[in-house]
Amino acid sequence: MPSALDATTNAQLRRPNLPLITLPWLACALLGLAMLMLGRFLGSYQETLMQQVGIFAIAAVSLNIVNGLAGQFSMGHAGFMAVGAYVAAATTYYGSLLHFNTAELQPGLFNFGHVLMLIGLLAGALVAAALGYLVGLPSLRLRGDYLAIVTLGFGEIVRVLLQQTSPQVNGKDPAEIAAFTDAPLRTLARIPLNGALGFEGVPAYATNLWIWTFVGITCLAAYRIKESSSGRAFLSIREDEIAARAMGINLTKYKVRAFVLAAFFAGIAGGLLAHAGVTTSPIDAGFQRSFEIIIVVVLGGLGSISGAVLAAIVFVLLPQVLHPIKDYRLVIFALLLISMMLLRPKGLFGVREIWNILPRRAAHTKPGATP
Amino acid sequence: MRKALLALATLALIPCIAQAAAQPPAAPITIGHYGSLTGSEATFGQSTSNGIKLAIEQINAKGGINGQLILLKEYDTKGDAKEATLAVTRLVKSDKVVAVLGEVASKLSLAAAPVCQEAQVPMISPSSTNPRVTQAGDYIFRVCFIDPFQGLAGAKFATGTLKAMNAAVLIDQAQAYAVGLGEQFQLNYTKLGGKIVSTQTYSGGAQDFTAQLTAIRTAKPDIIYIPGYYTDVGNIAVQARKMGITAPLLGGDGWDSAELAKIAKDAIEGSYYTNHYAPDQPDAKVVQFIADYRKAFGNQTPDGLAALGYDAANILFAAIKNSKSLAGPDLRAAIAATKDFPGVTGNITLNKDRDAEKACVVVELAGDPPQPKYVTTVAPR
Amino acid sequence: MTELLQTLTTTIAVGSLYALLALGYTLVYGVLKFINFAHSDIFVLGAWTTFTAANVLTDRLGINPTQSPWWGAVLILLLTIAVCATVGYLIERFAYRPLRKAPRLNVLITAIGVSLLLQNLGQLNGRVTVATDKDGRPTATLPFGSTPRSMPPLLPDLVLNETVLSQGTLAGGTQRGLVKLDQPLTMLDGRTYRIEFTRTADGQPRREVLALTATAGTFPPGTDLATQPRRSPAEVDGLPYSLIRSPRVPIMLVDVVIVAVAITLMLGLEFLVFRTRLGRAMRALSFNIENAALMGINVNAVISFTFVLGTALAAAAAFLYPLKYPGLNQPAHQIWVLLGLKAFIAAVVGGIGNIRGAVLGGFLIAGIEFFGTLYGDKLFISLGARPGLGTSLADVYVFSILILVLLVKPNGLLGSPVKEKV
């Protein structure tokens, strides 16, 4: 069945005049500068807000690889995020208990705690990617809504399984820590991820600096993927699978690759969230959280990386702004979502990037500009 | 139209950025509350919020504390840990509240506690019963008893008063509260010589418990322990009785609502639960609270969470009054010194673990229609 | 054996509800080719409309449908269908129709938006009280609020297959909760015995059933027998009673009503879709909208009708649901979404777009859920897992079956494969 998505021509994907690599970095540098100026907000509500924006941006940009570029509709993205979050959280938490004998945040700009976090992030991302491979496999046989439902089922299975895990080693109780450090493997074999209560007490190493560095890396990676031969293959699969196959594109390979890449970065987003002072609980693997990420991707425009980042900002800030209207808050939010879909169905940017739009707008205002 | 809408969205974002610049003056004392006012757990958040608002209304009607009125800043958490972290950070860092009240769910209290601890702003949870909550730091308090004590009270009552030595348990695996309480009951019950003959679980979203009850019926327990919330308990009771299970049910403070008897009717008659207070105890405070609450909130009957929210707020007010200053450390010390506070939910003393030390009452649902009736008190320790 | 039959009856009753709900998903998917995520919220709207209407009926109008007039319940059913169908029409007209040519992902997001809107509108705290009890406490409000509520009974609480053993006159026991029978009683192991009588309470005759909680044995006349619920001697003294042996597997009136209503509606739908002109138009649309339009079918009208039909079926299921489960969760509670998800899975497993498939899927999913809960635990315990693990994995069984079925038959059990065209 031909996709109803708007046809994208290469002309729409005009490359900017600047060297490719600079643009995402430029954006990140600007954000970094803004953060330095916001230095006086250090440890403030605004900082926490920025952390969540950043993490949401990574989640959205990663989902965009599989949903936006490859056109494979995934509704289990929160499942990958949760897997990454739990693996990373457990690595740092239990690593800290073993190494520092406490799960408290260690002071300093860079210490072994940060190393643990990085190891955890990588481990979480790799486990998520491995699961992404598994979930990606059926995409050969299934397409469209059916694939979506399978991915949704994956997220729900992750949620229910996480609920069954046994209680966490209590990092506030010296006796429990001692018992754990004596026989770490035996304890870990019980899968102590704290069941329905959620994994708590992970030291919050993920400051904005870390998070936005990862936003930069993710955006850059996504942008490189989009502009690479893989990205072209993804887009062609999205537009027409049969035509893509006729052009010699190995459908299975590229679909699975899209899932693995997306799951990898989702794992990183989850890991960062666990290190940003947010308790991860099984419910975070459920479909409601997946929907949140899908909403961000569609709001930003399917396939647009900068759109996803911008939409993440809007999506995190909007409910916060709407707090004063109390219980009408989510009613208004839902109404805005519906009207956005009705009035601007392509999202903020469509498949284009922010720099594809701005010069064009300028060209429109200048009569007689070269076509 | 489209442009206007986009412009509107942009405009809507401005106050958020501007908020950083303008801080409210400290003239009235600002306290914060974060709770699930929307979403699955909205009932709990809204009841607590009503209890807090009633307490504030009453103290402001009396002229506030030392001439300063109390102002409430309240943010919704949707039952989401991300929102809870944001809400508490906003209360503590932007709104500069002197103290924070919340949350009901232990999961969300745990998510928010480190923020309060780090900023040295006292936080009082009205009804998070998981032991870990107050272990987050010395600024975190609660006015309810904890799971191990409630589990012990249930087990003591079952083995001692009811002489029921074979129990089945039915636990909602999706609710941390139910899992925690269920574990503590099983632990204490077996310690006291009882035998768990059947452990059944369900995972949120189930409304039909026939399969679990079929297994329980085969095990022939003397009592069935259900540490869940009252909607589920009501449905379970109805289904259990229809299947011919006559063993009494036993539960925890999640049962505390007038709706339970309405849902289950005769089916819940003769069942027991452990609670913070018994509504039929002729305590003037309880009668007054119920009357005031009905008057303030359109004849609604307060549930246990509203009472705990009310007590949490009043303990905070008493502490503010006794505190040397409104600075975090002073207020913390004042709250920690709370002793024999006459609350609606009993006399509350905060112990060295910052948990409320108070008796647990066992309530029976008796009569036609079933009404909560005081049975016995299990003293702390 | 008892366990098996008990679970089978549950499966049939709950499966009928899943099937009704699944039909809504399938109908909408058939013509519009998208997953209507707001369908479960229509169901919630229906359940709460039933609740509100029932309270208005009992508290404001003083009608008790469990006695008479029995058509009070039918009135509520029709009202529920009317409300849900209207809301369904409005949703289709204003949220989905403008997106008919838009990418499917947009329609999906809109559906999620509509779902969020209905949930959050529904749980806004009751601004208007529409019914109160005799103490002036509100029993029903609009919107519905965020407190779980209890559904007033609309059906008599009857077990259809019980055996009346004997009749006699009841005497109160020596204390509250005890009764004396005027004849010897032999209780067999594994069966439950109940006494049924009618007593006057609050000036109203009331049928009561007390279960005898004694274990097996023979009791001479005049023995104190404990009951559940308990009544005081004065309340039962001198009343004529029937001694009833409960069946091992009780068949409840409510379950029979659920199955009967569901089967009637399914047959009606089958007739409508396969035997009428309108049904032919619907089927034509599901093949190809453009061609159907060329054949002179009023596309918008037929789509609207299909949508309304789906919501009406959801409304009927929503009317039946609180009759079976009187503890009604608040509108934004996640159990509703999970319920909708299971029905949706039923539609997919059966082959989405296929009416018979939806019915088959409904019963299949219910069966997996309940048999999985019952036997899964035994299986897991025999494998060395902790007790209770197997029962809490019920959702995992359901989702695993979904994935399994889709991998083996990508279009569902009864779905027809879609031809690929270039």
From first to last of its 371 residues, what are the pLDDT tens digits of chain A? 334 344 444 444 444 444 455 566 666 666 666 665 555 556 688 888 889 999 999 999 999 999 888 888 888 999 999 999 999 999 999 999 999 998 888 888 888 999 999 999 999 999 999 999 998 888 777 777 788 888 988 999 999 999 999 999 998 889 999 999 999 999 899 899 998 899 988 999 998 888 988 998 999 899 889 889 989 999 898 888 889 989 899 988 899 999 999 999 999 999 999 999 889 999 999 888 998 899 899 888 888 888 898 899 999 999 898 888 877 888 998 998 898 888 888 887 777 777 776 655 544 444 444 43
Specify the pLDDT at position B12: 45
Pair C318, C329: CB distance under 8 Å: no
Amino acid identity for residue C342 in this structure? K
Q: Name the CA radius of gyration of chain B, rounded.
A: 22
Question: Residue written as tokens 């409000």?
Answer: C141
Q: Compare all CA atoms of chain B with the CA of C15 and give the residue at the minimum distance.
A: B208
Bridge partners of residue B366, in order along the sequence: B371
Tell me, yes or no, if B232 comes closer than 8 A to chain C by beta carbon.
yes
B160-196, pLDDT tens digit by residue? 999 999 999 999 988 889 999 999 999 999 999 999 9
Q: How far apart are CA A97 and CA A171, in angstroms?
A: 7
Of B3, B55, B39, which is closest to residue B288 (Cα–Cα)?
A: B55
Rounded (10°) CA dihedral A209, A212, A213, A219: 180
CATH classification for the domain delimited by B148-275+361-378, as one of 3.30.70.100, 3.40.1160.10, 3.40.50.2300, 3.40.640.10? 3.40.50.2300
Of A367-371, B138-142, B360-364, C212-216, the one with minimum mean pLDDT is: A367-371
For chain A, the first-to-last Cα distance in angstroms comes to 35
Q: Compare all CA atoms of chain C with the CA of A142 and give the residue at the minimum distance.
A: C410
H helical segments located in chain A: 22-37, 45-64, 77-100, 112-136, 145-163, 174-182, 184-188, 208-227, 229-239, 241-246, 251-274, 287-300, 305-321, 329-343, 354-365
Segment C208-222 shows an average pLDDT of 87
Of B344, C112, B276, which is closest to residue A290 (Cα–Cα)?
A: C112
Which of B266, B293, B301 is the mutation pick for testing C, counting most C CBs within 10 A? B266
Cβ separation of A242 and C420 shorter than 8 Å?
yes
Averaged confidence pLDDT in chain B: 88
Write down which chains contact chain A via at least 3 CB pairs under 8 A: B, C
Pair C236, C174: CB distance under 8 Å: no
List of chain B residues whose C-beta atoms are within 8 Å of the C-beta of residue C252: 242
Does residue C10 register a pLDDT over 50? yes
Question: Residue written as tokens 């399914």?
Answer: C266
The sign of the torsion formed by the CA atoms of C308, C310, C311, C317 equals: positive
Q: Is the pTM of this model over 0.80?
A: yes
Bridge partners of residue C187, in order along the sequence: C217
Specify the pLDDT at position C242: 92
* Angle (nearest 5°) at CA A106 between A105 and A111: 130
What ranges do the domains of chain C cover? 21-153+252-344, 163-245
Does residue C253 register a pLDDT over 70? yes
Question: Residue written as tokens 């037929």?
Answer: C302
Cβ separation of A345 and C95 shorter than 8 Å?
no
What residue ranges define each of the domains in chain A, with the CATH number in brackets?
A: 17-294 (1.10.3470)
Kind and range of the H or E run holding A11: none
The sign of the torsion formed by the CA atoms of C295, C297, C298, C299 equals: negative
Specify the pLDDT at position A32: 65
Cβ separation of B259 and C392 shorter than 8 Å?
no
Beta-strand pair C149-150/C163-169: unpaired
Of B333-342, C219-228, C255-264, the one with minimum mean pLDDT is: C219-228
Q: Angle at which helices A145-163 and C334-350 pack, to 10 degrees?
A: 130
B327-354, pLDDT tens digit by residue? 999 999 999 999 999 999 888 999 999 9
Question: Residue written as tokens 């079933």?
Answer: B370
Specify the pLDDT at position B14: 43
What ranges do the domains of chain B cover? 27-145+285-350, 148-275+361-378
C360-392, pLDDT tens digit by residue? 999 999 999 999 998 988 899 898 888 888 888
Kind and range of the H or E run holding C101: none
C162-191, pLDDT tens digit by residue? 889 999 998 888 888 899 988 888 888 878
DSSP secondary structure, B321-336, as one string: HHSSSSSHHHHHHHHH
Q: Compare all CA atoms of chain A with the CA of B8 and give the residue at the minimum distance.
A: A336
Specify the pLDDT at position B321: 93
In chain C, % of residues over pLDDT 70? 98
CA C241, chain centre distance (Å): 33
Pair A22, A226: CB distance under 8 Å: no
Segment C157-165 shows an average pLDDT of 87
**pLDDT-derived band at C418, boundaries 50, 70, 90:** low
CATH classification for the domain delimited by B27-145+285-350, as one of 1.10.10.1590, 3.40.50.2300, 3.40.30.10, 3.40.718.10? 3.40.50.2300
Specify the pLDDT at position A22: 57
List of chain B residues whose C-beta atoms are within 8 Å of the C-beta of residue A343: 1-2, 5
**pLDDT-derived band at B59, boundaries 50, 70, 90:** very high
**pLDDT-derived band at C342, boundaries 50, 70, 90:** very high
C63-73, pLDDT tens digit by residue? 777 776 778 88
C118-142, pLDDT tens digit by residue? 999 998 887 788 888 877 778 888 8
* Angle (nearest 5°) at CA A159 between C391 and B200: 20
Specify the pLDDT at position C72: 84
Does residue B260 register a pLDDT over 70? yes
Specify the pLDDT at position C19: 96
User: Looking at this predicted complex, what is its ipTM?
Assistant: 0.93
Q: Residue A48 is nearest to which of B9, B89, B176, comparing CB atoms?
A: B89
Provide the 8-state DSSP code for A280: B
Specify the pLDDT at position B23: 44
Question: Residue written as tokens 């913070």?
Answer: B276
